[in-house]
Amino acid sequence: MDPIGEVLGIDNVVGVIQKSTPGIPAPLPPGYYEVNRSVEGDMVGFDSEEGERKTAPIVDRSSPSRHVVVDGMSSEKIRMLTAKMNATVDPNALQNLRDPGSMQKQKNGRAEVARVAGRLAKQLINTRTAANHMMLLGGGVIHVGPDGDLQATSASEMYSVDASIPASNKDQGLQMDGATALLATTWDNVAADIPAMMQLIVDTALMRCGYKLDLAVIGKNVLGYFLANTMVKELMKSNVAMTTAFGNNAIPDEFLGVPKWMKGSGMFWVDKDNGYQQFVGDDDLCLLPAASASWLECVEGSHLIANTGTVYPSLEQAHAALVEVTGKWGFAELSNDPTGVKMVAGDTYLPMLKVPKAVYKLDVKF
């Protein structure tokens, strides 16, 4: 026998060649992705109220109480993101599953079914991760294109979900007077007083809404600005741990008043045109409080799917066959022309900023 033909005729499939690691990176601490509320349907509502920060009036003991105005509340509703998609399973794989005489064929068939289901599930997880990063690191806006794909900008978008992060928390930021910038000098200037500006940002964040900043995510250029900065170099002279961390191309914990630091240059997603999109710009400084349901809620909605067949003698019986599922879901259905199986999967989900003023996305080079 021809040696080449002999080799090609043997089915020695030892695994799938994985050309890249499945899934997009999700490096933030787990609390920023944690689902902490489930609702029916695809609408989520919340009441909004400014925290009470005034002190009580002091009066003479014999005087009557003084009248104070208690500010009211406002309500808002947001439509959640609903993802739905389907894929067909290779008919050959289905036929392999029905071959009782070949264990290897059955294994190959099951592997193909699992592969298709796994790819659909991974896309749903990727969508959740990307939505969280857009809210927390991308300026608080999720852009949805005309074909339903997530996109980096508002160009030709079908709709968007906007958390309305205020102007005071973007670009160069604003101090509590609403007029003076938080970033007075661009950080690529080696003489910029970066420590003083960071202290101002930390203090302003606490005054603005009461949340202490806990995590800083920086663009790829920002570490270089720190290493070149005159005042940061002075701090390094008296801090061995800081010098060691920067020597390892990292930023130490508690640097400039923020407990944790991480690089955002490795956080990306792949758009519909197979382009790699960054959530964190090269000169971005994104700042977040510690993950908490008091300011961030990741919410799952529900969807109705059929639990049995698709043909019923009455509307009542058809309705009774529907099942309400929360969060990610999936099912398979037979098709006859051509014969095969269609796998359907979906999700209803939204990362919601209940306190938009708690999140900062600053541009340190301007």
Q: Tell me: the pLDDT tens digits for 161-199?
A: 999 999 999 999 999 999 999 999 999 999 999 999 999
What pLDDT was estimated at residue 322? 72
Q: Which residue type, as a one-letter code, is found at position 168?
A: S
* pLDDT top residue among 66 and 24: 24
Cis status, amide bond into 338, omega within 30 of 0? yes
* Mean pLDDT, rounded, of the chain: 86
- For residues 323 and 229, the model is more confident at 229
pLDDT at residue number 227: 94
pLDDT surpassing 80 at residue 204 = yes
> What is the structure's pLDDT at 6?
42
Of 305 and 358, the structure prediction assigns the larger pLDDT to 358
Task: Specify the pLDDT at position 10.
Answer: 41
Q: What percent of the chain has pLDDT over 90?
A: 55
pLDDT of amino acid 8:
37
Q: What is the pLDDT of residue 78?
A: 87
pLDDT, position 110: 76
User: In whole angstroms, what is the distance from residue 278 CA to residue 267 CA?
Assistant: 6
pLDDT tens-digit series, residues 95-152 = 777 777 777 777 777 777 788 888 899 999 999 999 999 999 999 999 999 999 999 9
SS3 letters for the chain? CCHHHHHHCCCCCCCCCCCCCCCCCCCCCHHHCCEEEECCCCEEEEEECCCCCCCCCCCCCCCCCCCCCCCCCEEEEEECEEEEEEEEECHHHHHHHCCCCCHHHHHHHHHHHHHHHHHHHHHHHHHHHHHHHHHHCCCCEEEECCCCCEECCCCCCCEEEECCCCHHHEECCECCCCCCECCCCCCCCCCCCHHHHHHHHHHHHHHHHCCCEEEEEECCCHHHHHHHCHHHHHHHHCCHHHHHHHHCCCCCCCHHHCCEEEECCCCEEECCCCCEEECCCCCEEEEEECCCCCCEEEEECEEEEECCCCCCCCHHHHHHCEEEEECCEEEEEEEECCEEEEEEEEEEEEEEECCHHHCEEEECCC
Most confident region among 44-53, 214-223, 315-324 by mean pLDDT: 214-223
Is residue 9 over pLDDT 60? no
For residue 138, what pLDDT is reported?
96
Strands 213-218 and 260-263: parallel
Answer for the pair 62, 325: CB distance below 8 angstroms, yes or no.
no
